[in-house]
Amino acid sequence: MDPFTGNFTQQEPIPDAAIEAALEVMRSGRLHRYNTGPGESSPVAELEAAYAAYQGSRFCLACASGGAAMTLALRAHGVGAGDKVLTNAFTLAPVPGAIAAVGAEAVLVEITEDLVIDLEDLAGKITSSGARTLLLSNMRGHLCDMNALTELLDQHGVTLIEDCAHTMGARWNGRKSGSFGLAGCFSTQTYKHINSGEGGLLTSDDPEFMARAILLSGSYMLYERHGAAPEPHVFEGLRLDMPNMSSRMDNLRAAILLPQLAQLEENIERWNARYDLIAERLAVCPALRVPVRPAAEYYVGSSIQFQLIGAAPEQMEAYLSAVAALGVDLKWFGRAEPVAFTSTHKSWRYVPTQNLPRTDVVLASLLDMRLPLTFSLDDCAHLADILVHCAEVTRLPGAA
Ligand SMILES: *Cc1c(COP(=O)(O)O)cnc(C)c1O
């Protein structure tokens, strides 16, 4: 088996049109979003309008990061010190981080072996915790049954805020991820679906919520210069009550995101061609399990997850060494000591310790591979061959 020589963190270059737009912003010297003359718009305002149109939401706020979008959303919704916020236990640290940032307490919910929130455990924890808010993380792009979820939340009067860092562009039954509850939170960090290094987008249809979020983001009373904001009168009763959390996006980042947004749908198809090719090849190997994806889910395959069925920690280590020797960089979410972003809920000491036996079992054998668009379809076939080959040579239960 030839080793793979590609780079798992190498994204495609920023498109030429975006580089041109960035140069124009820099030549103007006007990088701050509110640095406009009378009647002029800014790249940030244009991005807000374009993203609201893409998402099909009434309002959009561009902000400093995906984490900032979630923090603003929680605070704008009125979540504060001591409040409980439900979230799935399998997520990335910015999610419990956003909950901690508003002084709230995360209540972690189990996940299923298909990597989505467990609705039964959620129902139990809504009742036992009394939490009124769910910050749902669509972790690694997996969508739960969104209809069943919203029905459950409606029954109990729980508000939904969606973390769509890995589901920008994804849909459930044709409806965009991020449009099922009060708000959707997106990230434009380098490893997500459009790339400005750092950045975030917050969408909602609720005028008061969005007015509060805009004020919180640090709008210096210049909210009339936003691209997809509520009418000025909505801000009247709120403008002096919202603290400034300085979480704005700048024009340079917005300028390079606009041309990338225009390419997003095409890129989703490119990601999914890569994902589907690998998923089909892994499905044939009895030692590996790829999460089942329901027909209602239109996903964005920017990364792939699979379990080594029944593998003990030593077998996980052996498999990781075998693939690494062939140039394949996998993350093991259940590793006892966090490496890079492989943190589990046990690595978040600022969250009260919670017992999540089912999630722990899933994470114990769960591996993750990034799929940057710089990988060709041939690269993906090669990667799949290595993943299957190593399952065979490390003698996993069930492998040939
Ligand atoms: C990346 C990420 C975010 C947001 O990250 P930022 O770096 O703050 O933009 C949120 N949730 C998940 C699951 C992520 O992977």
Can you give the pLDDT at residue 399?
55
Q: Tokens 């939340």 map to which residue?
A: 153
Q: Identify the CA nearest to 58 among candidates 260, 234, 227.
A: 227
In tens, the pLDDT along 8-47 reads: 999 999 999 999 999 999 999 999 999 999 889 999 999 9
Question: Does residue 101 contact residue 107 with C-beta atoms inside 8 Å?
Answer: no
Last residue of some domain: 228, 259, 290? 259
The one-letter amino acid at 374: T
Is 244 domain-assigned? yes
What mean pLDDT comes out for the span 135-142? 98
Measured from the CB, is residue 94 less than 6 Å from ligand 1? yes
Decide: 71 in ligand 1 pocket, CB within 6 A.
no
Record the pTM.
0.97
> Does residue 91 line the site of ligand 1, with CB under 6 A?
yes
pLDDT score of 334 = 84
CA dihedral (77, 348, 293, 170) positive or negative: positive
Measure 64 CA to ligand 1 centroid, in angstroms: 12
In the block, tokens 């046990």 appear at 346
Confidence of residue 110 (pLDDT cuts 50, 70, 90): very high
Count H helices and E strands in the chain, helices first. 12, 14
- Name the residue of 189, 193, 305 whose CB sits within 8 Å of the most ligand 1 atoms, as the mutation to test its pocket: 189
Q: Is residue 291 included in any domain, yes or no?
A: yes
Alpha helices in the chain (DSSP H): 16-28, 43-55, 66-76, 94-101, 119-129, 146-156, 207-216, 232-235, 251-283, 313-325, 357-364, 377-393
Ligand 1 centre distance from Cα of residue 198 (Å): 10
11 vs 263: CA distance, rounded Å: 14
Domain holding 66: CATH number?
3.40.640.10
Say yes or no: CB of residue 87 within 6 Å of ligand 1.
Answer: no
Whether residue 220 is contained in a domain is answered as: yes
Cα(66) to ligand 1 centroid in Å equals 5
Among candidate residues 145, 100, 141, 97, the one with its CA nearest the CA of residue 118 = 145
Same domain for 71 and 92?
yes
Of 189, 155, 156, 186, nearest to 169 (Cα)?
186
Would the CB of 107 count as within 6 Å of ligand 1? no
Burial-class residue 352 by CB neighbours within 10 Å (0-12, 13-18, 19+). exposed
Structural domains of the chain, count: 2
326 found inside a domain: yes
Dihedral (CA of 253, 266, 368, 330) sign = negative
Average pLDDT score over the chain = 96
Query: Is residue 9, in this structure, part of any structural domain at all?
Result: no
Nearest to 107 by CA among 115, 124, 341, 116: 124
- What's the average model confidence in pLDDT over 67-91? 97
> Does the pLDDT at position 398 exceed 90?
no
- Does the beta carbon of 92 lie inside 6 Å of ligand 1? yes
pLDDT number for residue 344? 82
pLDDT tens digits for range 311-336: 999 999 999 999 999 999 999 988 87
Is 137 touching ligand 1 by the criterion CB < 6 Å? yes
231, 259, 287 - which closes a domain: 259
Of the chain, the percentage scoring pLDDT greater than 70 comes to 98
Residue 334: CB partners within 8 Å, gap ≥ 6?
316, 344, 360, 362, 363, 364, 365, 366
Residue 295 sits in the same domain as residue 198: no
| Radius of gyration for the chain, computed over Cα atoms and rounded to the nearest angstrom | 21
Q: Judge whether 115 and 143 are in contact, CB under 8 Å.
A: no
* 213 pocket-lining for ligand 1 (C-beta < 6 Å): no
Of ligand 1's atoms, which has the minimum distance to the CA of residue 140? 13
Examine the domain organization and report whether 272 and 242 are in the same domain. Answer: no
**Whole-Å CA distances, 296 to 161, 167, 173, 184:** 20, 14, 5, 19
Residue written as token pair 């310790």? 353
CA angle 187, 190, 195 (to 5 degrees): 75
Q: Which atom of ligand 1 is nearest to the CA of 185?
A: 10
pLDDT value at residue 346? 85
- What distance, in Å, lies between the first and last C-alpha atoms of the chain? 17
Rounded average pLDDT over 220-245: 95
283, pLDDT greater than 90: yes
252 and 338 together in one domain = no
Q: What is the pLDDT of residue 333?
A: 87
Give the separation between CA 303 and CA 300, rounded to whole angstroms: 8
Tell whether the model's pLDDT for residue 337 goes beyond 90.
no
Per-residue pLDDT band at 138 (split at 50, 70, 90): very high
- Pick from 117-121, 210-214, 314-318, 373-377: least confident: 314-318
Does the beta carbon of 187 lie inside 6 Å of ligand 1?
A: yes
Ligand 1 geometric centre to CA of 165 (Å):
5
Residue that has been written with the tokens 């999540």 in this structure: 356
Residue with the smallest CA separation from ligand 1 atom 9 is 66
* 93 φ/ψ angles, rounded to the nearest 5 degrees: -50, -30
Sorted by sequence, the CB contacts under 8 Å of residue 13 that are 6+ apart come out as none
Of 161, 141, 181, 82, the residue nearest 300 (C-alpha):
141
Quickly state the pLDDT bin for 111 (edges 50, 70, 90): very high
Is residue 251 domain-shared with residue 365, that is, in the same domain? Answer: no
DSSP string covering 186-219: EE-STTSSS--SS-EEEEES-HHHHHHHHHHTT-
Smallest CA separation from ligand 1 atom 2, residue: 165
67 alpha carbon to ligand 1 midpoint, in Å? 6
65 alpha carbon – ligand 1 mean position (Å): 8
Q: Pocket of ligand 1, candidates 72, 111, 117, 163: which has the most ligand atoms within 8 Å of its Cβ, to mutate?
A: 163
Q: Could you give the CA distance from residue 153 to residue 156 in angstroms, rounded to a whole number?
A: 5
Tell me what the mean pLDDT of segment 342-349 comes to.
81
Q: Which atom of ligand 1 is nearest to the CA of 92?
A: 13
**Residue 335 confidence (pLDDT):** 83
Same domain, 193 and 248: yes
Cα–Cα separations (whole angstroms), residue 78 to 82, 96, 133: 12, 17, 10
Per mean pLDDT, which range of 118-127, 153-162, 335-344 is the poorest?
A: 335-344
Query: Two tokens at 259?
Result: 């041309």
pLDDT at site 108 = 98
List the domain range (segments joined by +) for residue 34.
Answer: 16-259
Q: What is the CATH number of the domain that holds 278?
A: 3.90.1150.10
